Each structure stands twice: as structure tokens, then as C-alpha cells.
Amino acid sequence: MADPKKMFITGANRGLGYCMTVEALERGHIVYAGVRSLNSSPLLEPLEQLYATRLRRIAADMANEASMDNACAEIGRLTDSLDVIINNAGVLLEREKTIEELDFDQLRASFHVNTFGPMHIIKQLLPLLYAGRNQTIINISSEAGTILNAFSTNYAYSMSKTALNMFSERLRHYLKDRDIEVYAVHPGWMKTDMGGDEAPTEPGETARGIMNIIEKKVTITSKIAFINHLGKPMPL
């Protein structure tokens, strides 16, 4: 690739994060693959051998601020710029609980990983992103975060994704003058540990769509940051 991008992808050890890592590497990009623990990413080990000069695993536990700080510092030692940040790591907790049953510790944990984690990563890595080229921030969201599609449970996940959507929109406006694109992306219902085997979409398909957005192979007409993996607008 004539112009490879340097990307940081969180939650890269499985599911969509792993598929985006593979897709990015196959397209010639450089990937800093964030994983909760270096011991929890066996799928990435053969890729590290195959793409020795373009893949580096980074320990980044999105529930732990010190771990995130260490990850960002390590990336800063490895490169003087970043072109893409993909906040993919997420948790789905208390899915079927009613308000009477809801564990507020689990609710807080959901916000820490799904909302505060991406905010923390972006805050720490913005200096590297400012030094990049044709920069893009992708926050993996969900249609569960739309008010239009709300239902009677799934408080923790849906509320944390709604907050992520608002953060993405605010950030989009903040970075507009720097020509940095910011999107909150609904990846579709995928066959992952979170989505289950009945899901109709393979994570590899979503990964291709997201890479097409990053490579600007898709024309995006949405007036807000919230889109799907094909670049189409999502309802608020």
C-alpha cells in the first residue's frame, strides 16, 4: 500500500476487533492491537509472526485507567503519529435485568468500558492523532443506543452506547476544523460472543465495511456521527 495508516484498535483479541485487525493488515496498514492482557490473545500470535513489522500487541484493559495510560504511553514510544483510533472493546452486562433487579456496580462497569474507556483513550492519544494524516476516529456503538429503538431492559449497554453516541457527536464538532472524521458505528448484529450464533452478519463483513469508511471508499452523507458499518445514517 502506498499510504499505509497507523491504527490503534481496542478489543483486538477476538470478534470484530480481531477481524478488523486482520482486514487492516491484509490491506497493508500498521496495527497496534489493544488487548486486555497479552496472555488473552492467542489468535493474534500467528499474525504477529506473519506481519512482524506491522503488528504490535498492546496491553490495554479498558476497565483500568492505569492500563489505558500505559498502553497510550507505549504507543507513544513506538510511533510519533497515529492516523486511526478504533474504540471497539465493550461489555454487555445486566442485559435482561429490570430496573428493580439492576446491579448498579455492573451499570457503572458498563459505562467505564463502553463510554469512559473510549473517552480516556482518545484524550490520551489526540496528540499522536494530530500528527497523523487523513485521520479517523471510530467508536463502535450499537443500535441499542438509539432512543427510537428503546425497550424495557438492557439498561447498562444501551445507556452507555447512547452516551458514546453523544460523545462522538460532540467530538466530531470539536475536531471538525482539523479535518478529523469521527463516527459512532453500529456494526450490525454479528456472530460474535456478544451477538451469538443466530446473528445474520459475519464480523468479517462488518470489518470490511469499517475499513472502507476509513479508506474513504464510501461516500457518507449523514449529518451526524452515528452511522452503520456501510456508512448509512442511524436514527437517534
Distance CA 114, CA 82 (A): 22
pLDDT in tens, 11-62: 999 999 999 999 999 999 999 999 999 998 999 999 999 999 999 999 999 9
Does the structural domain 6-228 have CATH classification 3.40.50.720?
A: yes
Residue 3: per-residue pLDDT: 85
CA angle centred on 35, ends 125 and 37, rounded to 5°:
120
* C-beta separation of 164 from 115 below 8 A: yes
pTM: 0.95
The overall average pLDDT reported for the chain is 95
Give the pLDDT score at 2.
58
Between the alpha carbon of residue 114 and those of residues 50, 183, 203, the distances in Å are 31, 15, 19
pLDDT of residue 178: 98
CA atoms of 93 and 71, how far apart (whole Å)? 25
With 60 as the cut, is the pLDDT of residue 206 above it? Answer: yes
Query: How many CB atoms sit inside 10 A of residue 127's CB?
Result: 13
Q: Distance between CA 213 and CA 192 in Å, rounded?
A: 21
| DSSP structure class, residue 188 | -
Asked whether residue 170 carries a pLDDT value surpassing 90, the answer given is: yes
- Rounded Cα–Cα distance for residues 88 and 235 (Å): 20
Residue 17 vs residues 84, 88, 147, 187, 206: alpha-carbon distances, Å: 14, 6, 26, 11, 10
- N-term to C-term CA, the chain: 37
Domain ranges, ordered by start, for the chain: 6-228
- Where is average pLDDT lowest: 55-69, 108-122, 138-152, 216-230? 138-152
Share of the chain above pLDDT 90, in %: 89
Give pLDDT tens digits for 53-71.
999 999 999 999 999 999 9
Q: What is the pLDDT of residues 71-95, one digit of tens each?
A: 999 999 999 999 999 999 999 999 9
State the pLDDT at residue 1.
56
The strand ranges marked E within the chain are 6-9, 30-35, 55-59, 84-87, 136-140, 181-186, 226-228
